[in-house]
Amino acid sequence: MGVLKGVGIYMYREREKRKTYKLIEMEIIENLKELKTYMDTENKEFSKEFDLVEIALTYDVGDIIVVNNEGLIIASTLKDAENAGAVCLGIFEYVKKFYNDIRKIILQRKDKYIYIYPIKLCGEMIYIIIESKVMLEIVDEKEILKKTCNVLKKYFSDFKTIDYPEKESYSENMLITS
């Protein structure tokens, strides 16, 4: 009888711990969302992945979306980023028809900047799309890309190397405004 009481008390305490952890997790998610309220959310629902959200909050960028060469989402700070990822990839592919050697594209739309970076990862082309309210410094761009690629390690099983564009000169980049 004593063993059954002990097991019952143990199971009750474990269940209470799981409830507490779940409440703490939900509170963290809500706090991260609250920190992001200064950005223009436009009724966007954020994903529960903390990695990219943390990078976005660290560098004061709105959203980070990573897509493959078909426009499918690999990782994102948004829960429903399929449309934005596909549209940005379409824009990149359209501009690439006219200019072969593109390192990044910067789109300016009213009060937002959208950066599109092609990166080769594990022999596959991926595209990192960053939306920001301010124009990013080159140092911040490189740090965001580096940290985002480190997050992507868990999405690729045979992670070997990341190939960045060879030239360090960013003078050949395009700035498109509308």
pLDDT in tens, 5-21: 888 999 999 999 888 88
Residue 12: per-residue pLDDT: 92
CA-wise closest residue to 67 among 45, 49, 85, 79 = 85
| pLDDT at position 157 | 58
- Is pLDDT above 80 for 136? yes
Whole-number pLDDT of residue 22: 83
pLDDT digits (tens, 9 = 90+) for 29-69: 777 666 555 455 555 555 545 677 788 877 778 888 888 88
Length of the chain equals: 178
Mean pLDDT over each residue of the chain, to the nearest integer: 77
Per-residue pLDDT at 116:
92
**What is residue 167's predicted lDDT score, i.e. its pLDDT?**
47
Q: What element of type H or E holds 131? A: strand 124-132
Q: Are 48 and 34 in contact (CB under 8 A)?
A: no
**In this structure, are residues 29 and 41 in contact, taking their beta carbons and an 8 Å threshold?**
no
pLDDT at residue 36, as a whole number = 56
Mean pLDDT across 117-135: 85
Higher pLDDT, 147 or 80: 147
pLDDT of residue 165: 57
Q: Are strands 162-163 and 112-121 parallel, antiparallel or unpaired?
A: antiparallel
Looking at the predicted structure, is the pLDDT value of residue 168 above 60?
no
